[in-house]
Amino acid sequence: MAEYRLEMHGVSKSFPGVKALDQVNLCVRPGTVHALMGENGAGKSTLMKCLFGIYKMDEGEVLVDGEKMHIANPDEALHHGLAMVHQELQPVPDRTIAENMYLGRYPLKSVGPLKIVDHKKMNEETVKWLENVKMPFDPKKKLGELSISQMQSVEIAKAVSQDAKLIILDEPTSSLTDNEVEALFKIVRDLRSRGVSFIYISHKMAEIRQIADDITIMRDGTYVGSWNMEEISDGEIVKQMVGRELTNVYPPLDNTLGDVLMEVKGYTSINDRSFKDCSFTLRRGEILGFGGLVGAQRTELMEAIFGIRHIKAGEINLNGKPITVKCPHDAIKNGIGMITEDRRGTGILGCLSIADNVSIASLDQYLEAGVKLNKKKIEDLVQDNVGKLSIKTPNSKELIQNLSGGNQQKVIISRWLANNPDVLIMDEPTRGIDVGAKYEIYQIMIELAKQGKGIIMISSEMPELLGVSNRIMVMCNGKITGELEREEATQENVMKYATQF
């Protein structure tokens, strides 16, 4: 038997403008759980996509059980015994467990000239495989009636039924309760003892400690190293994950802080697996950063404050007065604006002009006689912003979908400048934007803070978070786990709180 179940050597992958993976290695021993850790954007998912042939790697080789392989697509990967349980499960909830297990490979039987699905065989086989992972379910039950963790177990059973020797679990516990995590670990341990290997992608330190045998750490698309779990301490793992030089340049943070502008108390989502009991304050003229890893529920918390999501408990005081926010309209009326993370999905009005995109949140200001919009006033506003934010566009009638990502983002920022809220929440404000435009956006944020507004910035880029925040709140698993003043905010400190659970 080969020493390693899976070996990946010198894997590199470039996308236009970025080197996503640079000479990454990963070696997984048979019958072990191998943790793969790294910050957001470290390249874990890209590496897995290269392994499964979803992306074509530029360089590097893959060996399965010591044999060199070329894997072109997930189907081929499965033939070689590699299976992936996705972070977002993609089952068909309205069909039965058995049908999901055998999706795309239904056993057939002949009835005269016809080939029909052999339900009896499919159900019997399913029971067998479910027992394999200690899940005594009725195979005829609809998959959608199971809990997420049970669906995950079904996915694992499916992988095992397809003779998988290596199963990749991508953030498997992000939406599970403690008991469910324990149940999942039991299955993983059991399969491990029978020789199945796992690659376990997670941000949660405690879990990694509990389940993993080995660990590989990645940072910014590069390979940092691999260790046996016993050889490395938690502190060392954090250090290796973030150990980069902070070289990026940020504009000077010369805003001054005023008194308390907004107070959020005990915000708790109606979804039990989302944010719980989150409290924080925001001062006038402050840029408050929210750090954390994917799945920390930062976006969910902010979207709830803005009224996109619902809460079962919590209150907000704005300017010393309690406010009720049930929908974005309420939030805006009270002086809260939000630039959402998903620019395409909830930001731009693609088939409308720049002028329409800028003015949509502040049309009330341009009404004449309460009815007619003053187009000249709107045009002035748009021109003002196009100049101030140096938006590159031929004219204000250009459709926003024809602009670059950075310019689109500036248009969305203009939308809120025109609306002039007291509090502006910016969720990943520089995602997918080139370096020059990023710098300009930071300048705008600081300028707004100087005008006495409160800015909340969610950022998953550590240097940005440290570079432009006056103060940082760190979240993990739906809870606020740390608050760091600018002086004490280091990569290690943020990461320590971000992997608290």
Q: Detail the DSSP E strand segments found in 383-444.
A: 423-427
* Ordered alpha helix ranges (H), 291-404: 298-305, 328-333, 354-359, 375-388
Instruction: Return the ∠ at Cα 455 (arms to 449 and 459), rounded to 5°.
Output: 125
Q: What part of residues 391-420 is at the interface with another protein (CB under 8 A)?
A: 401, 415, 419
Give me the DSSP letters along 63-90. Answer: EETTEEE---SHHHHHHTTEEEE-SS--
CB distance 465 to 494 below 8 Å: yes
Is 326 a binder of another protein (CB under 8 A)?
Answer: no
Give me the DSSP letters along 201-213. Answer: E-S-HHHHHHH-S
- Closer residue to another protein, CB minimum distance, 253 or 373: 373
Q: What part of residues 21-80 is at the interface with another protein (CB under 8 A)?
A: none
Is 442 a binder of another protein (CB under 8 A)?
Answer: no
Query: Exposed, middle or buried: residue 289 (CB in 10 Å: 0-12, 13-18, 19+)?
Result: buried
Residue 479 CB contacts under 8 Å (≥ 6 apart), including other chains: 275, 276, 277, 278, 501
Is 388 a binder of another protein (CB under 8 A)?
Answer: no
- Closer residue to another protein, CB minimum distance, 102 or 416: 416
Q: What part of residues 357-386 is at the interface with another protein (CB under 8 A)?
A: 359-361, 363-364, 367, 371-373, 375
Shortest Å distance, C-beta 453 to another protein: 17
Is 327 a binder of another protein (CB under 8 A)?
Answer: yes
Residue choice 18, 206, 352, 435 for contact with another protein (CB under 8 A): 352
CB distance 198 to 165 below 8 Å: no
Residue choice 130, 211, 218, 348 for contact with another protein (CB under 8 A): 348
- Closer residue to another protein, CB minimum distance, 222 or 362: 362
Rounded Cα distance between 337 and 329, Å, is 10
- The residue behind tokens 């954090």 is 238
Q: What part of residues 250-309 is at the interface with another protein (CB under 8 A)?
A: 306, 308
- Closer residue to another protein, CB minimum distance, 103 or 363: 363
CB distance 393 to 407 below 8 Å: yes
Residue 250 CB contacts under 8 Å (≥ 6 apart), including other chains: 439, 442, 464, 467, 468
Shortest Å distance, C-beta 347 to another protein: 6
Region near another protein per CB under 8 A, out of 55-63, 120-128, 180-188, 322-330 = 322-330
CB distance 24 to 49 below 8 Å: no
Shortest Å distance, C-beta 455 to another protein: 17
A 10 A CB-CB count for 437 gives 21
- Closer residue to another protein, CB minimum distance, 176 or 373: 373
Is 468 a binder of another protein (CB under 8 A)?
Answer: no
Pairing of strands 18-28, 67-69: unpaired
Shortest Å distance, C-beta 197 to another protein: 40
Rounded Cα distance between 215 and 232, Å, is 9
- Closer residue to another protein, CB minimum distance, 280 or 416: 416
Shortest Å distance, C-beta 66 to another protein: 44
Q: What part of residues 222-241 is at the interface with another protein (CB under 8 A)?
A: none
Q: How many residues bind another protein (CB under 8 A)?
A: 31
Residue 156 CB contacts under 8 Å (≥ 6 apart), including other chains: 85, 133, 167, 187, 188, 191
Residue choice 261, 332, 389, 437 for contact with another protein (CB under 8 A): 332
- Closer residue to another protein, CB minimum distance, 214 or 341: 341
Give me the DSSP letters along 104-152. Answer: T---EEEETTEEEE-HHHHHHHHHHHHHHTT----TTSBGGGS-HHHHH
- Residue 374 CA to chain centroid, in angstroms? 41
Region near another protein per CB under 8 A, out of 17-25, 145-153, 355-363, 434-442 = 355-363
Shortest Å distance, C-beta 337 to another protein: 9
Is 111 a binder of another protein (CB under 8 A)?
Answer: no
- Closer residue to another protein, CB minimum distance, 328 or 467: 328
Is 325 a binder of another protein (CB under 8 A)?
Answer: no
- Closer residue to another protein, CB minimum distance, 13 or 415: 415
Is 249 a binder of another protein (CB under 8 A)?
Answer: no
Is 323 a binder of another protein (CB under 8 A)?
Answer: no
Q: Which residues bind another protein (CB under 8 A)?
A: 306, 308, 327-329, 332-333, 338, 340, 345-352, 356, 359-361, 363-364, 367, 371-373, 375, 401, 415, 419
